[in-house]
Protein backbone atom coordinates (compact mmCIF):
# COMPACT_ATOMS: atom_id res chain seq x y z
CA UNK A 1 0.00 0.00 0.00
CA UNK A 2 1.28 3.47 -0.86
CA UNK A 3 1.37 5.91 2.05
CA UNK A 4 -0.32 9.31 1.64
CA UNK A 5 2.92 11.40 1.56
CA UNK A 6 4.43 9.09 -1.05
CA UNK A 7 1.31 9.28 -3.21
CA UNK A 8 1.32 13.08 -2.95
CA UNK A 9 4.97 13.23 -4.05
CA UNK A 10 4.29 10.92 -7.01
CA UNK A 11 1.27 12.96 -8.07
CA UNK A 12 3.12 16.27 -7.70
CA UNK A 13 5.95 14.96 -9.87
CA UNK A 14 3.55 13.68 -12.55
CA UNK A 15 1.82 17.09 -12.58
CA UNK A 16 5.17 18.93 -12.89
CA UNK A 17 6.20 16.68 -15.76
CA UNK A 18 2.88 17.26 -17.54
CA UNK A 19 1.55 13.69 -17.41
CA UNK A 20 -1.53 14.53 -15.33
CA UNK A 21 -3.39 17.63 -14.21
CA UNK A 22 -5.45 18.41 -11.15
CA UNK A 23 -9.05 19.53 -11.59
CA UNK A 24 -11.03 21.05 -8.75
CA UNK A 25 -14.61 19.95 -8.11
CA UNK A 26 -16.93 22.90 -8.77
CA UNK A 27 -19.26 21.89 -5.91
CA UNK A 28 -16.57 21.23 -3.30
CA UNK A 29 -13.22 22.96 -3.75
CA UNK A 30 -11.63 20.55 -1.25
CA UNK A 31 -12.12 17.74 -3.77
CA UNK A 32 -9.63 17.42 -6.60
CA UNK A 33 -9.67 15.04 -9.54
CA UNK A 34 -6.70 13.85 -11.55
CA UNK A 35 -6.87 13.74 -15.33
CA UNK A 36 -4.32 12.24 -17.69
CA UNK A 37 -3.02 14.81 -20.20
CA UNK A 38 -2.32 14.16 -23.88
CA UNK A 39 1.37 13.89 -23.00
CA UNK A 40 0.50 11.35 -20.30
CA UNK A 41 -1.63 9.31 -22.70
CA UNK A 42 1.15 9.27 -25.28
CA UNK A 43 3.69 8.19 -22.65
CA UNK A 44 1.37 5.43 -21.42
CA UNK A 45 1.07 4.05 -24.95
CA UNK A 46 4.85 4.13 -25.44
CA UNK A 47 5.51 2.40 -22.12
CA UNK A 48 2.76 -0.13 -22.80
CA UNK A 49 4.36 -1.10 -26.10
CA UNK A 50 7.80 -1.37 -24.50
CA UNK A 51 6.40 -3.58 -21.75
CA UNK A 52 4.60 -5.80 -24.27
CA UNK A 53 7.76 -6.19 -26.36
CA UNK A 54 9.89 -7.14 -23.38
CA UNK A 55 7.28 -9.50 -21.98
CA UNK A 56 7.00 -11.22 -25.37
CA UNK A 57 10.75 -11.67 -25.57
CA UNK A 58 10.90 -13.04 -22.03
CA UNK A 59 8.02 -15.45 -22.56
CA UNK A 60 8.98 -16.77 -26.00
CA UNK A 61 11.13 -19.48 -24.44
CA UNK A 62 8.24 -20.93 -22.45
CA UNK A 63 6.14 -23.76 -23.79
CA UNK A 64 2.38 -23.24 -24.03
CA UNK A 65 1.94 -25.31 -20.87
CA UNK A 66 4.57 -23.30 -18.99
CA UNK A 67 2.96 -20.08 -20.15
CA UNK A 68 -0.44 -21.24 -18.84
CA UNK A 69 1.17 -22.29 -15.55
CA UNK A 70 2.83 -18.89 -15.19
CA UNK A 71 -0.46 -17.07 -15.81
CA UNK A 72 -2.22 -19.26 -13.26
CA UNK A 73 0.47 -18.60 -10.64
CA UNK A 74 0.53 -14.86 -11.31
CA UNK A 75 -3.26 -14.68 -10.96
CA UNK A 76 -3.03 -16.63 -7.71
CA UNK A 77 -0.42 -14.21 -6.37
CA UNK A 78 -2.52 -11.20 -7.45
CA UNK A 79 -5.61 -12.59 -5.68
CA UNK A 80 -3.54 -13.27 -2.57
CA UNK A 81 -2.20 -9.71 -2.52
CA UNK A 82 -5.69 -8.27 -3.08
CA UNK A 83 -7.04 -10.37 -0.24
CA UNK A 84 -4.19 -9.29 2.04
CA UNK A 85 -4.83 -5.63 1.22
CA UNK A 86 -8.56 -6.04 1.88
CA UNK A 87 -7.87 -7.70 5.23
CA UNK A 88 -5.56 -4.85 6.28
CA UNK A 89 -8.24 -2.30 5.37
CA UNK A 90 -10.79 -4.12 7.52
CA UNK A 91 -8.35 -4.31 10.44
CA UNK A 92 -7.46 -0.62 10.09
CA UNK A 93 -11.11 0.46 9.65
CA UNK A 94 -10.37 2.00 6.24
Give me the CATH number covering residue 15: 1.10.10.10
Q: Tell me the pLDDT tens digit for each residue of 46-90.
A: 999 999 999 999 999 999 999 999 999 999 999 998 887 776 665
Mean pLDDT of 28-43: 95
Q: Which pLDDT value is given to residue 36?
A: 97
d(CA 67, CA 51): 17
| Averaged pLDDT of the chain | 90
Domain of 88 in residue numbering reads as 62-94
If asked whether residues 40 and 85 sit together in one domain, one would say: no
> Does the pLDDT of residue 7 top 80, yes or no?
yes
CB contact at 8 A, 15 and 40:
no
If asked whether residues 38 and 70 sit together in one domain, one would say: no
If asked whether residues 4 and 50 sit together in one domain, one would say: yes
If asked whether residues 9 and 52 sit together in one domain, one would say: yes
Domain count, the chain: 2
If asked whether residues 17 and 51 sit together in one domain, one would say: yes
If asked whether residues 30 and 7 sit together in one domain, one would say: yes
Amino acid sequence: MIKHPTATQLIDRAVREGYIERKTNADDRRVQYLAVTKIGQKQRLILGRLFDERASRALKYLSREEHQQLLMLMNKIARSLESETSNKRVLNNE
